[in-house]
Structure formats: C-alpha cells, structure tokens
Structure 1
Amino acid sequence: MKILDEIDDRFLKASECAQEVSKMLEATRLHYHSNFADNQGYVDHSARVMRVITWNKSLRGISNGEGGKDDQESEDHETHATVLDKLLAWEKKLYDEVKQGELMKIEYQKKVSLLNRHKKRGASAETVEKTKAAVSHLHTRYIVDMQSMDSTVSEVNRLRDDQLYPRLVSLVEGMAKMWTNMCIHHDTQLKIVGELKSLEISSSLKETTKQHHHQTRQFCTVLEEWHVQFDRLVTHQKQYISSLNSWLKLNLIPIESSLREKVSSPPRPQRPPIQALLHSWHDRLEKLPDEVAKSAISSFAAVIKTILLHQEEEMKLKEKCEETRREFIKKKQGFEEWYQKHLQKRGPTEEAEGGEDGTTNTSRDHVSERRIAVETLKKRLEDEEEAHQRHCVQVREKSLNSLKIRLPEIFRALSDYAHACADSYEKLRIISQAQKATVSS
C-alpha cells in the first residue's frame, strides 16, 4: 500500500504541473462559443468585437459608462480564447466583404458588357454616357469596398501576428515546462514500481472483502476514464494545431481580382513567424508515441478487469461455502435433534443391544442414512472451503504478478511519452526564440 500511495502522490504532483497551462487555456471555465451563444445571459463575444471595430476612429478614446476602457480594448489582457473569437469576428467580416465584392464585380462586368454592346450597335450618345456613368460608379464603389476589405485583411494579419502568435509561443513555453516536470514525476513512479519485484505474498490467508472488491471496481473505472481523457488530450491537441494550419493556408492565399490594379493592397508577408511554428508543431505531434501510451493504459485496465473477475469468482466461491455451511449446520442440528428423539423413543439400551428383528435393522439403516447424509454434506463443505482458500491464494498471486509486470510497462510508456513531449516542446520553444531573435535583428 505504501508503494501505491507514493504513486498516487506523484500523480497529484504531476497534475499540479499543468495548472499554468490550464489557467492559460481557461480549462476550468465553461466556454460558450460566440457562434452558438443565445440570449440567456451569455455574452456574444463576436458581436461585442464587431461593435468595437466598427466604431469611428475618433470614438476609440471615449471611456465606457463605468469610467474605464472597454474590456475589448485592452489587448494586454486578452486570453487565448478571446483572441480566437476576435479572429473569428474579423474573418466573418472579411467573408461578407469578399462575398459582396464578388457580387459587385459580376454586376460591374455586366455593365461593361452592356456598354460594349451599346458602342458596337451604335446606341445614342445619351445611352452610352449613362451606361459609362453606371460603370464608373460601380468601379468606384468596388475600389472603396476592396480598400475596406484590405483593411480587414490587415487587421486579421495583425491579430494573427501580434496576438495569436505570442499566445501560441506562451503556450509552447508553458507546455515545455509542464512536460519537463511531468518527466520527473513519471520517472519517479517508474522507479517506485520497480520495488514491486521484491514484494512477496505473505503466508497468511487473506480473502477479498466487499470493500476491496469495490475499490478494485472503482480503480478499473478510473483507468477506463484515464484512457478516455488521455485519448481526448492527444486528439484535441492534434485537431487544434491541424485546424490552425488549415486556417493559415487559407489566410496566406491572396485575394485576387482583375479590378485591383487601382487598389493599393497591403503587403502580405510570405512566411509569417506563426507558419514555421505551426508546421513544426503539427509534425512533432504526429511523431509522439501516444499510441504506445494509450495501449499501455488500455492493457493495464484490461488486467485490472481480469483481476476483478477473479475476485468475483472468489467471492462466489465464498458465498457458496457459506450456503453449504448453513445447510450443513441446519442438517446437523436436525439430525442431532431427531437422533435424540429416536433414542428416547427406542431407549438407549435397546439401541445399544440391537436385535435381530427387521424393525431394529430398519431403524439402524435409517440412522445410518441420515448420518451419511450429514457426513457427505460435511465433506462437501470441506472441499468447497479448500477450493475457496486455494482460489484466494491464486487471486493474490495473479494480482501481484500482474502488477509486477504491467505497472512498470505503463509507467515506462508514460515516462517515454512525457520525455518525447518535453523534447518536442523544447525544440518548438527554440524555434520561437530563434524567430524572435531574427525579427529583433
């Protein structure tokens, strides 16, 4: 039990290592995504963001009703989630502008075609001039809309480089620190379980109690939940970084148009710092030995399930023994009571001397039959008790041997995974530091 307590203590310390990252990701808060927020008191962050970004520039310095700045204005206190929400709001705005621009371009092209037809067919000067004015008006509107769209693109890129990227760098640094500390605790656990090799079963018989069985069942449930949560951790990490990579690919595609020759578009960096970080992050997550760790947890859970089945079989044997014991006690008491009455009825002298008549022989046969039935039941009880005791020893031996083999396997897998994560995030941290140094120089 001391060994298991030490292992449990290391799990608690390992969980404390994740507090900084959990705080960074607001893991303990309930998140209501702005896409699905309703009117039941939940804040629609995108609506608030759009309310701020569509204000006139001259209003940005005006404080809110409480005498302070709007909380959306203070970018220093933005969280990872709110930065993503702001990006979503601007991306929605960009989508609407691109869609509107495409519709206007189609309308413009139709007017140009109409103007060409008028010229070709020799339409009146008034008709041609009227169509030219419409074309010029649409072209001007299109240029203005494209300039607005370029401003939106610039803001998306600013959020990407000045807000999202620094928070991803902070997340990398937090993960590097977390996994480095995790390595220490999982390595210690691996060393602790090595002490199980010298552990032997005591000669004293110990049965599986209901409490022990209940704790084993709880342990099995915890292991299954651990496997589920570990799988979610791995899956969600990969999905998030994969989603960011997919978004970045689209983000880096320039918005082309045949009408943009007169529009002064903002320069688009070909390789923003976030690109190298996300590409490397994605590749390193794919190379982590998570399947080995998941398999180790799953295998250990299966071992505990097997132990649970052995315990249930042992408890059934004990219950069977108890039923047989109750039956034996009842039958023995019944026989003794009957035999006493039988002696009183026939008399002890007559029973002792016996006789040659058929009545006496029948009586003796009847007594023998009852005595044999009791002795047979007693023998069955002894056999069942022996089988139960033998099974108790087998359950303890199988349980201990399974723990001796499987515990080192699972903690070796966890230790290897922790070291792989620590190494990956340390290299990602070096990449981000190198990019920072390049930008500074």
Structure 2
Amino acid sequence: MKDIEIRFMRAAEAGNEVSRMLETKKIRLDICAKIPGSPGKPPTARFVSALRVCFNRENILNQETAQHVSKVVTWKRSVSSLSSSSKSPLTAAMITDDVGDSNSDFVEQFAMVSGSHSSTLDRLHAWERKLHDEIKASEHVRKTYDEKCNLLRHQFARGLNAQLIDKTRAIVKDLHSRVSVAIQAVDAISKRIEKIRDEELQPQLVELIQGLIRMWKTMLECHHKQFIIISLAYHVKSVTTVQQGEHHHRAATHLWNELDCFSSSFKIWVTAHKSYVESLNAWLQKCVLQPAQDRWRRKRKVSFPPRHALSPPIFVLCRDWLTMMESQSLPTDELCKSIKEVVQLLRGSFDHQADHQNKMTTESHLRNESQECGMLENNEQEVSGSVEAVEGLQSKLTTVLDRLTKFSEASLKHYEELKQNYEMSRDDYKMGRSNAHLV
C-alpha cells in the first residue's frame, strides 16, 4: 500500500506544472473553494480552481469574508516583462494600478515562456470591452449620419433655402468624418486583439497542451504501476489477519472521504475543462463573419473554419480541442462509476459495523453460557464477513486503478493527436501565407 500511496503523490505532483501555467497561486484559496460550484463565474476561473481542488485540497482551509472576492487576480509583473502588444495606453494604466498592491493573500508564480495566461485573457477582455464601446458609439454616429443625409436629400428635393442646405451639408460632412474615425478606431482595436490572439494566446495554449501531455504521461506511468501492484496482491490472495478496531475504522473513513472528494473534484475538473474550451472556441467564432447558409443548411451547426479551409492555427486548435471534449471518447463515466462503487461499498461496510455494534450493545445484558457460544459464532461470522469486505474492496480498487490507467492513456493519446494536428495546420498556414505573398 505504501508504493500505491507514493504513486498517488507523484501523480498529484504531475499536475503542479499545469497549475503553475494557469497561475493558481494567484487565486485566493478561500475563493477557490467557492468558484467551482458557483454559477456565472468565468470558465477560466472554474478551470483553475478545479485544478487547485484536485491537487491541493488540503490547502483550502481559510474562509474569510466576501469583501475581497472582486479582486482574484493581481499582476505583479513589470511592464518591461510584458510583450509588446500589452504596452498600450489602455493596459498601462491597469498594470500601474495593480503593481503597487502587495497584498499578502496573493502569490506571484507563473511558468509560461509566452507570458501570463490570465493576464492575456484579462487584456483580451479589456480590448473586447473597448471594441464594444467603440462600435456602440459609432453606430449612434452612423444613425445620426443617415438621418442627416435623408434630411439633406429632402431639402434638395423641396428646393429649400441654400443657407439651410449648406448648414445641413456641413453637419453631414462632420458626421462623415466622425464615422471614418470610428471605423479606423474599430479596425485598430480589432488588429490589436488579433495580435494578442496570435502572438500571445496561441503560444500559451500550445504550452498548456504540452504541459497536459507531460502531466498525462506521468499519470499514466503512476496509475499503470499502481494497477500492477494491486493486481499482483489480489491474485496472490495472501491470507492475513483482518484488522479491526478504531485504527482500521479511521483508515476506512479516511479512504471514503478522499474517494468521495476525488470523485466530486474530478467531475468539476472535467466540466470546467470543457467549459474553458467551449468559451475559447465560442469567442473565436465571434471573431469571424460566418458564411451565409442556404435554407436547407440552416439547421446544421456550422463552425469556422471548415476542415478544408486554410485558417489561423488557433482556430484549428480550439476546434479540434472542443471536438475531443465533446466526442465522449474519454472513459469519464466508467471511471466515475468505478469510484462510486468503492464509495458505496465502504458506506455499506460502515452501516454494517454500526448495526452490529448496536446489536451487541442491546444484547450485552443477556450474557450467559449459551449466549457466549452464540457470540463466538457471531464473531466468526463477523471475521468472515470482514474478509469478504476486504476482498471486495481490493477488487473494486483494482477496477478504479484500471479505469484511471485507461483514462490517462486515452487523454495522453488525444492530446498528442491534438498537438500533431496543430503543428500540421501551423505549417500549412505558413506555407499558404508565403505563397500568397509571392503571388
């Protein structure tokens, strides 16, 4: 059992790299415990906190007031450490405000060569808000411009005073200039977003996938060795004395609590992971104008880019990533079912022990010679039942480790294929752009 425990610790440590990439040290621990089950939270926050729950549940202890909830992420990076796309008037003020804060509840730790992932997402959100405001303002100006153009045509048609027409024409000319400026501003912001997307977000997603590949490789190795160990122990069938008493009960209770926590945290992790990828892909879909659809195709779900289209690699990456998460090819349900069976077995064992203890207490005042013989028989039955329970638990744990091994193997395979498809799309995209420049 010690070898199995050590392998579990190593498997947990395998997630530390991904956890650092997602900057979980910047997430308030008391908030982490609340975010996973809270509706309306950003998918990235749910994903990060779910990782934190999975790998470091014992650290989530503090429960403070909610007055600090609004400030979850802090930037402690100097402006010089940021990429060129982040050195803009819009973000400089935001960075300056946060750099001066040295709240001890936050820890600076990130491990991506391409920069801070959370900061990139925050700046993309800020630029998207700026783009939304610019478009909303330009629409108002455009509406006023159309109204004045109609008024000018109406004045021409009615042959009104030339001075009045000149006044309206001057207003139309001014509005036209404002519309042109607004279009240029929208175009500049859009290019800024594309620059951050292609030069920061895309490399960060690639790094994240590479980290997940390394994580699942280690987990596959650990869980496979655990499965071998427990399988050999199960087939040897070495009969040992069944441990009873308070120590055995505490160990079983601890195992029950940990498995129950692992099951719920695993489900949260899978849900948050899928939500994170769905949000990325949905945002990318909003970055492009979807092609017009025929009437008979309107009911079909069309995603950009089509398989045959030459598109920026990040679109292909997120599309394939989402397809992987929605394909049901990962044995998630089988793993959750096997864990649930172990939890139910332990719960049944606790209920049986409680019933037996109550029965012994009730009958304690009726002890006599004949009853003592009956108690010996009951004790033999109890030991026999305990042996069967241990063997049943060993069988169920063997199934859990087998499912963990298969899940790790399937995850590793999918992420390696995802990386390979991305590299192919990246090379095709570079070649296509080179050919376009030559033409």
Name the CA distance, whole Å, in 1 between partners of 2:161 and 2:213: 75
Separation in 1, partners of 2:224, 2:153 = 78
Instruction: State the shift of 1:272 in Å.
Output: 1.4
- The equivalent of 2:270 in structure 1 is 234
Give the partner amino acid of 2:9. Answer: L
Q: Which amino acid aligns with 2:3?
A: E
Moved more, 241-250 or 6-15: 6-15
Matched residue type, 2:261? E
Q: Given the alignment of the two structures, is residue 29 of structure 1 paired with residue 20 of structure 2, yes or no?
A: no
How far, CA to CA, are the matches of 2:201 and 2:24 in structure 1? 18
Task: Determine if the alignment matches structure 1 residue 11 to structure 2 residue 8.
Answer: yes
3-state DSSP class of the match of 1:23? helix
1:111 is aligned to 2:151: no
Q: In terms of mean alpha carbon deviation, does 385-394 or 410-419 score higher?
A: 385-394
In the alignment, structure 1 residue 249 sits paired with structure 2 residue 285: yes
**Cα 1:135/1:37, change in 2 over 3 Å:** farther
Distance 1:39 1:243, change over 3 A: closer
Change (3 A) 1:197 1:293: same
Deviation sequence 1:288-334 (CA, Å, 0-9, x none): 2211111111122112212222332343344456x33xx65xxxxxx
Is there any run of 5+ residues in structure 1 with no aligned partner, and where?
A: 60-64, 255-268, 329-376
Q: Which amino acid aligns with 1:293?
A: L
Q: Which residue of 1 aligns with 2:61?
A: none
CA separation of 1:44 and 1:173: change in aligned 2, threshold 3 A: closer
Q: Distance in 1 between matches of 2:72 and 2:267?
A: 30
1:388 paired with 2:430, answer no
Report if aligned partners of 2:277, 2:318 keep a CA contact under 8 Å in 1: yes
CA contact (8 A) 2:21 2:208 kept: yes
TM-score by length of 2: 0.73
Please give the secondary structure, in 1, of the residue aligned with 2:25: coil
- Contact 1:317/1:388 (CA < 8 Å) preserved in 2? no
CA shift for structure 1 position 428? 1.2
Supply the distance in 1 between the matched residues of 2:91 and 2:387 (Cα, whole angstroms): 76
| Cα separation, 1, equivalents of 2:70 and 2:324 | 41
Counterpart-to-counterpart distance in 2, 1:224 and 1:39 = 28
Does the 8 A contact of 2:114 with 2:203 survive in 1?
A: no
Matched, 1:432 2:429: no
Distance in 1, matches of 2:113 and 2:236, equals 56
Q: Which residue of 2 aligns with 1:311?
A: 353
Match of 2:369 in 1: 378
- In structure 2, relative to structure 1, the CA distance for the partners of 1:270 and 1:90 (3 Å cut) is farther
CA pair 55-207 structure 1, distance change in 2 beyond 3 A = closer
Aligned pairs, number = 358
How far has the Cα of 1:386 moved from its partner? 2.3
One-letter code of the match for 2:321? W
Amino acid at match of 1:382: C
Larger radius of gyration: 1
1:201 to 2:202 alignment: no
Given candidates 334, 345, 362, the residue that maps to 1:292 is 334
Q: Secondary structure, in 3 states, of the residue corresponding to 1:28? A: helix
Query: Any idea what SS the aligned residue of 1:78 has?
Result: coil
CA distance in 2, matches of 1:144, 1:126: 27
Q: Deviations over 1:264-302 (max 9, x none)?
A: xxxxx9721100001111111223221111111112211
What amino acid does structure 1 have at the position aligned with 2:320? S
Cα deviation, 1:185-209, whole Å, max 9, x if unaligned, reads: 111111111121222434x6x5631
Look up the equivalent residue of 1:215 and give its one-letter code: A
- 1:413 equivalent to 2:410? Answer no
Q: Within 5 A, what are the aligned runs for 1:26-175?
A: 26-30=23-27, 53-54=88-89, 78-175=115-212
Q: CA deviation at 1:43?
A: 6.8
Q: State the shift of 1:39 in Å.
A: 10
Secondary structure at the aligned position of 1:116 is classed as helix
- Report the Cα offset of residue 40 of structure 1: 8.6
Answer yes or no: is the 8 Å Cα contact 2:145–2:175 preserved in 1.
Answer: yes
Aligned letter for 1:6?
A: D
Alignment of 1:169-184 (within 5 A): 169-184=206-221
Alignment root-mean-square deviation, CA: 3.5
Structure 2: unaligned runs, 5 residues or longer: 32-40, 46-65, 94-98, 101-107, 291-308, 432-439
Query: Any idea what the Cα deviations from partners look like across 1:128-176, whole Å, max 9, x if unmatched?
Result: 1111111110010010011011000000011111000000000111111
Q: TM-score, normalised by structure 1?
A: 0.73
Shift of 1:116: 1.5
Contact 2:91 2:123 in 1 (8 A): no
The alpha-carbon deviation at position 102 of structure 1 amounts to 1.0
